[in-house]
Amino acid sequence: MSDRRTGTAGRPRVVLVTGVSRYLGSRLAGRLAADRSIERIIGVDTVAPRGEQRQLLGRTEFVRADIRNPLIAKVIASGDVDTVVHLNVIATPTGAGGRTAMKEINVIGTMQLLAACQKAPSMRRLVVKSTTAVYGSSPRDPALFREELAPRALPRAGYAKDAVEVEGYVRGFGRRRPDVTLSLLRFTNFIGPTIDTPLTRYLSLPVVPTVLGFDPRIQLCHEDDGLEVLRRAVVEEHPGIFNVGGTGVLLLSQALRRLGRPALPVPSPGVSLVARAFRGAGVVDFSPEQMRYLEHGRVADVTRLREAFGWCPRPTAEAFADFVASARPPMLDPEVAAAAERTILDLLTRGRVAPAPSPGVLGA
Amino acid sequence: MPERHAARRPDNVIPLREDVVAPVPGPAGPAPEPADWERRLAGGLAFLRRRITGDYPVDDFGFDADLTEHVLLPPLRPLYDTWFRVETRGLDNVPDTGAALVVANHSGTLPLDALMTAIALLDHHPASRHLRMLAADLVFALPVLAPLARKGGNTLACNADAERLLSGGELVGVWPEGFKGIGKPFRERYKLQRFGRGGFVSAALRTGAPIIPCSIVGAEETYPMLGNAKTLARLLGLPYLPITPTFPLLGPLGAVPLPSKWIIEFGEPIETASLGGAAAAEDPMLVFNLTDQVRETIQSTLYTLLMQRRSVFF
């Protein structure tokens, strides 16, 4: 974890992490705690970290506070905080206690936090986790979204709409405090052996419902790489908006085949019914805007991240392979399939050595 | 066609070598080398295994070369070879490597002209180039068609995608007339419509890719559009709903195109690299002029080809 920076002026001294009892928050705080150049790490959340999360935190000081409460301003002022990492923008209503509460936490929480940051003279750096969902998902989308491209269809509901509003407030903060370095990180969907997101739950269903007649391109970010980007945004200096995700894409159908899960194509009008059933059963929490994602997909261009950070998350396919390795064994193992291919060929050609299949043979 | 017969010849020659005793008589005759059908079988099985286990690459645009070559295009080849008897000219004007923008006239109600051009470049160009086509957003809104279009190498006709493909060194195809061209009445056949807003020219200028004007004769007569059921089309959210001599009169049979004789001519490339790059793309006058030049070239080539054509069907 060495840093190439020469001066110490840009290094954070006191870092405040919101949403520290959650997956990313606890792990990021743990990584920062391992960095001895940072004096203090203050973790804030409404609930105390549980067993595993607590162990990850290391020397992080936990403050039980609600960012919707002006109390947060006292924490920032009294702690002389110079870097704030805002991870408390949550994607699913189930963990928050309903959609209304989720919106409260996301939007009102961000407003309060930013108001507190604006008043704090010690503030030097603000890192905000956002999502590529702000680009929406429509048939009129370009193949890859660059950071400056305006979405063709603004998200109208759910997490994506919250994220759009959060970004609006963050931009407002940036105008009022131009002396604070602002890093806005738009993450693609996370994947990995340990993280629990609507997407990983969806992909873990025994039979995966898809939208009939659509096959979206998906882009993934490995959990470890996402944390590394956050860490670098904290300890290095990277002002601007960045898409964060792996290069390359997988088609949903292709991902399911690699995972060895059967797909269940559902006609578009029936999809919302199925989604509601899953939501009711508490299996997967898929909002309507994520349903649109299942039709049209979304891919972001990560060139700016690679150039500014000098580093890039591993490709989508590799990140997904790590998830596949940890998932339930597929119905049809690729090695079994390869063996079956050889056996069938042997049987049909009666023991003669088959040539290596060359591409284009079938099309000739 | 001729090169495919040539490819099969070695199998036919092998039986003359009497010193080799073939263990199995296959349909291609006794042979020590794996017979043609065996190679096809091996290829087919390997293809099936790749599909079942998801072990194939897809690029950022969702282009699946494996599927395109083995599943999407083969059913169209008889159409190309036997039905339309497509004749290609000027294939050497298309570079073997690197970016180029093929700009062509659009016609025929259904975009068969785009598919045939793609086959021409994949099967008959010496470098077997995949044509990456720019398609209307309607295509990506329709179920079934949307994923097929992406897998076949199409992407949305917008500057961002065109420039990304061209700077990646791809061969890009664009039909700038769009729906105005493909959905025009039969009486206006071979009269080029407005060439969009010149977006394709600025994409070429920014990336320095040569523009290759491409003239397609024959597609206009595949589905002669005599009328347009505009009200119904609007209800269905379509840009037009054609009435042809066979559709909707013969129902599904109306989907069979008339067997017109096709000529696809690739013209001399128009260099854009020396015109000033991104700065030139910001000069609307230059963009308009270049757009007109491409349009004029295609229009005059169309007239020449029509003069040479003996009849619509031969």
pLDDT recorded at residue B207: 96
Coarse DSSP helix, strand, coil percentages of chain A, rounded to the nearest 5 percent: 45, 15, 40
Q: What is the pLDDT of residues B172-181, one digit of tens each?
A: 999 999 999 9
pLDDT recorded at residue A11: 87
pLDDT recorded at residue B22: 44
**Facing residue for B74 by CB, picked from A295, A332, A363:** A363
pLDDT exceeds cutoff 80 at A305 = yes
- Tell me the CA end-to-end span of chain A in Å, nearest whole number: 53
Residue of chain A nearest B57, judged by CA positions: A250
pLDDT recorded at residue A285: 65
Domain boundaries, chain B: 62-222+257-308
CB contact under 8 A, B141 and A142: no
CB contact under 8 A, B141 and A139: yes
Interface check for A296 against chain B (CB to CB < 8 A): the answer is: yes
Q: What is the pLDDT of residues B70-95, one digit of tens each?
A: 999 999 999 999 999 999 999 999 99
Residues in B 81-140 with any Cβ partner in A closer than 8 A: 137-140
CB contact under 8 A, B60 and A249: yes
Give the count of Cβ contacts less than 8 A between chain A and B.
151
The residue with tokens 């003359």 is B16
CB contacts of A141 in chain B (<8 Å) are: 156
Which H helix or E strand runs over A98? none
Distance from CA of A11 to the nearest CA of B (A): 36
Predicted TM-score (pTM) of the model is: 0.86
Q: What is the DSSP string of A243-262?
A: EE--SS-EEHHHHHHHHT--
Q: Please tell me the least confidently modeled range out of A339-348, B82-91, B268-277.
A: A339-348
Full set of structural domains in chain A with CATH: 8-191+219-247 (3.40.50.720)
pLDDT exceeds cutoff 70 at A291 = yes
Residue of chain B nearest A346, judged by CA positions: B42
ipTM of the complex: 0.85
CB contacts of A260 in chain B (<8 Å) are: 53
State the average pLDDT for chain B.
Answer: 88
Residues 6+ apart with CB under 8 A from B208: B99, B272, B273, B277
Residue of chain B nearest A247, judged by CA positions: B60
Interface check for A361 against chain B (CB to CB < 8 A): the answer is: yes
CB contact under 8 A, B140 and A140: yes
Distance from CA of B204 to the nearest CA of A (A): 17
Residues in A 203-222 with any Cβ partner in B closer than 8 A: 211-215, 217
Interface check for A336 against chain B (CB to CB < 8 A): the answer is: no
Q: What is the pLDDT of residues B228-240, one digit of tens each?
A: 999 999 998 889 9
CB contact under 8 A, A212 and B143: yes
Residues in A 168-187 with any Cβ partner in B closer than 8 A: none
The residue with tokens 């080809």 is B305
Q: Which residue type does A216 have?
A: P
Which H helix or E strand runs over B278? helix B277-281
CB contact under 8 A, A251 and B4: no
CB contacts of B54 in chain A (<8 Å) are: 250, 253-259
Q: Which two tokens stand for residue B150?
A: 């992406």
Q: What is the pLDDT of residues A221-264, one digit of tens each?
A: 999 999 999 999 999 999 999 999 999 999 999 999 999 889 99
Q: Please tell me the least confidently modeled range out of A6-10, B81-85, B88-92, B257-261.
A: A6-10
Q: Return d(Cα A162, Cα A108) in angstroms, integer.
A: 10
Distance from CA of B104 to the nearest CA of A (A): 22
Q: What is the pLDDT of residues A22-64, one digit of tens each?
A: 999 999 999 999 999 999 999 999 888 888 888 889 899 999 9
Interface check for A269 against chain B (CB to CB < 8 A): the answer is: no
Q: What is the CATH number of domain B62-222+257-308?
A: 3.40.1130.10
